[in-house]
A and B are shown apart, each in its own frame.
Chain A
């Protein structure tokens, strides 16, 4: 079965510090990978998605960047955090067709709660 990991679970960082959040997927090959941010009481905002190694699409111009150094690894980074970067960051994966006819949906990780002070 497929599993997705995110770490750390919680992070408190000062304004101006760098950021690196990591996401890894197990049990599937060549997944599409996504980074979302969810502000308190609000919906999901798609930040980046990737269809393969080194292929990153940015949905919202901002202070963040993403990289995909390996097939099942997705990293969210920032050189200098802003107060507005606080939020709940979610990584997700999908594939074009799952074995056994399972739904072609996006599957989310547990999330990283980031607080910038």
Chain B
């Protein structure tokens, strides 16, 4: 079993839809949880960052962490074609040893 599991997709939704991206993990020592967005042929950029459990909202993006279920989610509201990218979850006991998910390729159709 991988330490972090992420459905690779691809996921295709119409513009304006709510998108839900998820990762599960097995290591209870993970305290820091991140979501990265990676456009084609570019480096990943940090999108959301959460420490421990709870929700965090930033504009159209909401990150949720449920440590009891070892499950994290990223929600995108009012999705736009510019949101089309690969989304990577990442987590670890600190920033030094992050474990990344495989990435979910998302396409928002106009």
A contacts, CB < 8 Å to B: 6, 32, 41-44, 49, 51, 88, 90, 94-96, 103-111, 113
Residues of chain A lying within 8 A (CB to CB) of residue B101 = 43
**Which listed residue, A32, A43, A103, touches B102 by the CB 8 Å rule?**
A43
Expressed in whole angstroms, the Cα–Cα distance for A41 and B10 within the complex equals 10
A selection of 24 A-B contacts at a CB cut-off of 8 Å is A32-B95, A32-B96, A42-B102, A43-B103, A49-B96, A51-B96, A90-B43, A95-B95, A96-B95, A103-B34, A104-B94, A104-B95, A105-B32, A105-B34, A105-B46, A105-B95, A105-B98, A106-B46, A107-B46, A108-B44, A108-B45, A109-B43, A111-B41, A111-B43
Partner of A106, one of B95, B102, B103: B95
Q: Chain B: residues with CB nearer than 8 A to chain A? A: 8, 32, 34, 36, 41-46, 49, 88, 90, 94-96, 98, 100-103
**B42: shortest Cβ distance to chain A, in Å?**
6
